[in-house]
A and B are shown apart, each in its own frame.
Chain A
Amino acid sequence: MSSPSPDRSSSEERFTESSGRSAPLAHMIFNAAMAVLFAALFLRAGELPSSMWEPLGASSFPRLVLALLILINLAIVAKEWRAFAARSAAERGLVGRWAWRHRLAFGVLGLFALFIFAVPWLGFAWAALVFLMLGQWLLGARSLKGLIIALAVALVFSFGVETLFREVFVISLPRGLFG
């Protein structure tokens, strides 16, 4: 598992060993895209106004950071290129197998995105209720008992949370078109 921890990236070696050129290729695409994006932002930052009484102005600090970001991204691309050239191609179907292995994560992410976009329309409570039910079903709550527990959890963390915030904290969560 990769995580915020500084020393928890040991999966890198294992992954790169087994994935042939895929890992360096993924890095090269990602870092090259970042370098292009930051170069465009660097140019845009040049349009920011300067100030009469302030030597640095609004653009200097972000441009300094963006310049360093461009350099580091290019350095990573160069480093990964060497790794790419030194390795043989990965076996066919690797990407498909990787995507299949991550199907639940992508499923949850898709549901989460739908939930977030539904909040302004359905309101927090209804959107959360549907998300919690579907999310728990997707992750394995399929039996009758599991579904009853899922419904109870969904009600508490959707309508229950909305009521708590409205009545106790006087914060109105989005009510949506039906609110």
Chain B
Amino acid sequence: MDALFSGMEQLFTLGTMLTMLLGVVAGVIASAIPGFTITMAIVLTLPLTFTLPPLQGIATMLAVYVGGYTGGLISAALLGIPGTPSSVATTFDAFPMARAGQPGRALSLGVWASFFGALISTVVLIIAAPPLAMIAVKLGAWEYFSLIIFAMTVVASLVGKSILKGLLTGLLGLFIATVGTDPMMGVPRFTFDTDLLANGFPFLVVLIGIFAVSQLLQEVEDAEAVKHGKALIPANVSFRPLEGLREVLIHPVNLVRSSLVGVFIGAVPGAGGSIANLLAYDQAKRASKTSETFGTGNPEGVVASESGNSATSGGGLIPMIALGIPGSAVDAVLMASLMVHGIGVGPRLILDHGDLVYGMFMAMLVAAFMVLAVCLVSMRLFLRVTDVPRSVIVPVVLVCCVVGAFALNNRVTDIYLLLGIGIFGYVLSKLDYPLAPLVLGVILGPIAETNLRRALMSDENWTLFFTRPISLGLLIFAAISILLAIRHHRRQKASKAIYPPSP
């Protein structure tokens, strides 16, 4: 209790509140720009916190972190481009909703879902950090591989109308992830001795190329609309936050389930928001009574994706605080900031620096409320993006994409890759291939391959995947998930046969 009060005393100072507020604003804005990720925002914030007291520094970075998970929503909903990898699934329903003339509703739903996701994850973090962390670290290579197999079943929800095309793009993603240096032996694969491919395809470059470049090119296909200076979305800047709150709360099961998916995936080291939003979306779609409307502007889809990705913020801190293991790249930067202040991160953190840990918990809660306040105040401003004509927004966002791709590793070759992947993504979209499975493949590919090989390296016995209880459980979940998807597809086919769509 003393530690809690001491943490609160250090946190609730004018200076800390001010730097946290700046952090929230920076996180929201940085993540709203396509090509800029939360990790980049956090890395850029790190040197600015060196001179601050430990709790103020880490609280500022947590504010950027929580703000970033919500900021990705803005470009996902208004431009159809995920602002960060964590908001890929948000584009599925938020963008069609905005396109249908309800951009304010899409943002309002997303803001509230993000807020509750962050809130739920912080509560779980406070209550269950030690036991959840113990489960997360018990996962060996077998369990990781089985977890990825389970996550891959999400492809069944993303394939759209053609299973073959969905499978093809999913496998393409897996292949793209194999280009570059082999993760176990360090030998170059499919690089053809070129500098261009020597480092493989960075995930962010693939994401920007596939979603942003191809999406922006599609925006200027309609020459008449562009000539008349039409904006991307029919102008409608009405933003009714209370309606959004009501709409989020009428699906409490979806909200809580998606948040818990986010917490769990966040707590698994190496996973994170980019997987959590897709898994939460997939689970929401399967459980929904109106699953056929997912992808056309279903509010449940927006709520699932946004609460799922925001909940990973608390989940990611669980293994970091309880065991000193970073759940994601962002958590690694947070750990680095603690180490800069001479604080050793590990199982003893909560014992040795209880005030700091409780201060961090409180900072998460405060950041969630700050993000909500900042978003509620600023969303009308962001909605003005919908007034900007395509002639301005398309070239500007393309330039932002180039900056984001370059700034990731300071490599000019990455922007050449961006161009190539953008053209390829455009061709795929013109041939009606779903692009989301490709991104999922790129995310999951390296984790799947590394853990499969690691498992077989430590023991060549394949049956271990089925005899280790957690691994078996995850594989059973995967099998159930596939069976449910098949049943869903068959039912849809049968209902189409009985009630053929009207011409």
Residue B429 is within 8 A (CB to CB) of chain A in the complex = yes
For A111-142 the 0/1 string (1 means CB < 8 A from B) is: 01101100110001000100110011001110
Asked if B167 is at the interface of the complex by the 8 Å CB criterion, the answer is yes
Q: In the complex, what's the smallest C-beta–C-beta distance from A1 to chain B, in angstroms?
A: 6
Main secondary structure of the interface of B (DSSP, over half): helix
Complex Cα gap A38–B396 (Å): 36
Partner of A76, one of B88, B164, B190, B400: B164
Q: A54-B457, A103-B223, A139-B226 are in contact. Are A5 and B91 (CB under 8 A)?
A: yes
Given contacts A4-B436, A30-B431, A140-B226, contact A69 B175 (CB under 8 A): yes
Partner of B159, one of A6, A12, A57, A119: A6
Q: Bound complex: CA of A120 vs CA of B217, how far in Å?
A: 24
Are the C-beta atoms of A7 and B160 separated by less than 8 Å? Answer: yes
Q: Say if the beta carbon of B487 comes within 8 Å of chain A.
A: no
User: What residues of B have a CB within 8 angstroms of the CB of A116 in the complex?
Assistant: 402, 415-416, 418-419
Interface of A is mostly: helix
- Tell me whether A105 and B220 are in contact in the complex, defined as CB-CB below 8 angstroms, given that A2-B430, A73-B168, A113-B419 are known contacts: yes
| B294 / chain A contacts, CB cutoff of 8 Å | 6-7
Which of B234-242, B261-269, B374-382, B404-412 faces chain A?
Answer: B404-412
- When C-beta atoms are compared, the residue in chain B nearest to A56 turns out to be B453
A96 proximal to B (CB < 8 A): no
Please give the number of chain A residues whose Cβ is less than 8 angstroms from any Cβ of chain B in the complex.
76
Contact A72–B171 (Cβ < 8 Å): yes
Choose one: A2, A73, A141, A173; the contact of B403 (CB below 8 Å).
A173
Answer yes or no: B249 CB below 8 A from chain A CBs: no
What is the bound-complex CA distance between A130 and B17, given in angstroms?
A: 42
Please give, as numbers and ranges, the residues of chain B lying within 8 Å of A4 by CB-CB distance. 80, 88, 91-92, 210-211, 215, 434-436, 439
Does B456 lie within 8 Å of A56, measured CB to CB?
yes
Is B96 an interface position by the 8 A CB rule?
yes
Instruction: Name the A residues within 8 Å of B137 (CB-CB).
Output: none
- Asked if residues A165 and B403 are in contact (CB atoms below 8 Å), the reply is yes
**Which residues of B have CB within 8 Å of A178?**
none
B80 touches A11 (CB 8 A): no
Chain B 152-180, CB-CB to A under 8 Å as 1, else 0, gives 00000111111011111001101100100
Contact with B along A7-37 (1 / 0, CB 8 A): 1110110010000000000110010000000
B positions within 8 Å CB-CB of A = 44, 47, 80, 88, 91-93, 95-96, 157-162, 164-168, 171-172, 174-175, 178, 182, 184-185, 187, 189-190, 210-211, 213, 215-218, 220-221, 223, 226-229, 294-296, 389-392, 394-396, 398-400, 402-403, 406-407, 410, 412, 415-416, 418-419, 422-423, 426-427, 429-432, 434-436, 439, 448-449, 452-453, 456-457, 460
What 7 new A-B contacts, CB under 8 Å, besides A3-B215, A9-B434, A139-B220? A4-B92, A103-B223, A115-B398, A115-B402, A139-B395, A140-B229, A153-B392
